Homo-oligomer: A and B are copies of this chain.
Amino acid sequence: MSATVPVVERVLSANDAVAAEVRARLDEKGIFCINLMASPGAGKTSLIERTVEALKGEIAIGMINGDTSAAAFDAERSQRAGAASVHVNTGGKCHLEAAMVRDALSLLPLDGIRLLLIENVGNLVCPMSWKLGAHVNVLIGSTPEGDDKPYKYPKMYAGVDVVVLNKIDLLPYVEFDCGRFLRGVEALNPGLRTFRLSCRTGEGLEEWFAWLREKARPAR
């Protein structure tokens, strides 16, 4: 099996070059881009819906939704919420790659967009290895997944720029020790920016919106 490793490394390094191209294109257009990663069901699409609903009047938002199949449920949800969306079918792959984002960019009205939200495939392992050219990598965790996730998926928790803990409305009903979770995050990624919120009740969303408003300002 070791014979495949050099191929994987070559592919990843080619991906990094495309990610740099994507970043240059985004910067040229003045677009701030976020790569949202999470387990399946942690709330990527819900956070995007809430964000688009809240900010669409003030910031023009574009979306790229990665899915392992041709089903475009998430892209449709974002579109209904009011964002220009492109659905990317990864063809069974468990992550987005920079070339998929580059191709999706050509389908979006870039001159009219200031914030681009990329919804990666639901997976806590591989998406971290594939840079997309985004300015910020965000990991969404959720309370029902358990407070042990930073310890079990350390590469993901160590590699992101922001952690959002979603579904805090379920804290009374699940076994989740916020202290243990945050100690794990802090050990792997000291000083990391974290948000605690509930897409269902809206608690904590204002802080997230304020951060996005700040980041998506034209002169940054």
Which one, B71, B129, B175, contacts A152 given CB within 8 A? B71
* Given A67-B152, A144-B41: A125 touches B94 (CB 8 Å cut-off): yes
Q: Which residues of B contact A122 (CB under 8 A)?
A: 39, 124, 152-153
User: Quick check: which of A21-29, A56-64, A166-174, A210-218 contacts chain B, the rest being far away?
Assistant: A166-174
A149–B40 CB distance below 8 A = yes
* Given A1-B11, A7-B7, A200-B175: A125 touches B155 (CB 8 Å cut-off): no
Q: How many copies does the complex hold?
A: 2
Which one, B1, B4, B148, B170, contacts A173 given CB within 8 A? B170
A198 to chain B, nearest CB (A): 11
How far, in whole Å, are A149 and B7 apart by their CA atoms in the complex? 32
Residue of B nearest to A90 (CB): B125
A35 CB within 8 Å of chain B: no
User: Using a CB–CB distance below 8 Å, which chain A residues touch chain B?
Assistant: 1, 4, 7-8, 11, 14, 39-41, 67-69, 71, 73-74, 92-94, 97, 99, 121-126, 129, 142, 144-146, 148-149, 151-155, 167, 169-170, 173-175, 200
The 9 closest A-B pairs by CB, nearest first: A41-B145, A94-B125, A144-B144, A39-B40, A39-B39, A41-B146, A94-B126, A40-B124, A173-B173
